[in-house]
Copies of this chain bind each other. A is one copy, B any other.
Amino acid sequence: MTEDKPSPIRPTDAEARAMAQELIRGARIAALAVLDPDSGAPHVTRIAFGLGGNNGWLTLVSDLSAHTKALRAAPRAGLLLGEAPTKGDPLAFPRLSVAVETRFVPHGTEEHAAHRAAWLTHHPKAQLYIDFADFTFVSFMPLSADLNGGFGKAYRLTPDDLSLT
């Protein structure tokens, strides 16, 4: 049905890259899509989000959470960045859907220490639980992204487009 239509994807330009990078830098939370290990169906939860050492994308998760168990079973995931303001049409505001590969960052490593310091500057309340053994950083490596900048403004972005400069 859609094969006969022109592609809705616009060519990526500097404005699209800047919009995506602003969404990444500004995000304190994200929606995380994983595969439910029992049903194989998609499952979506709200997570904390932030930048760690070397501007790597991070979350900090509890071992008790369903999404943590799901990521241990299947590391491919999806992220939605860009919250809608409470006023105005929520679908008119930009958001970024990213396909990511996830990786757990072991406690006691230099990488963990760098992420810990960076995370606390943006999520100071995490001080309460960041050192618990069952709270773990998960690193996100972006594979590709769909930027929706509002109605009719769709772009497909590469990892290079998302690289924070």
Contact = CB atoms under 8 A, between A and B. Distances in A.
Contact of A44 (B2, B5, B28, B80): B80
Contact of A29 (B29, B63, B91): B91
A66 B125 CA distance: 37
A8 B35 CA distance: 20
A43 interface: yes
B42 A77 contact: yes
A45 B97 contact: yes
B33 A42 contact: yes
Nearest to A97: B45
Q: Top 6 closest A-B pairs, CB basis?
A: A33-B33, A33-B42, A31-B31, A33-B44, A41-B76, A44-B78
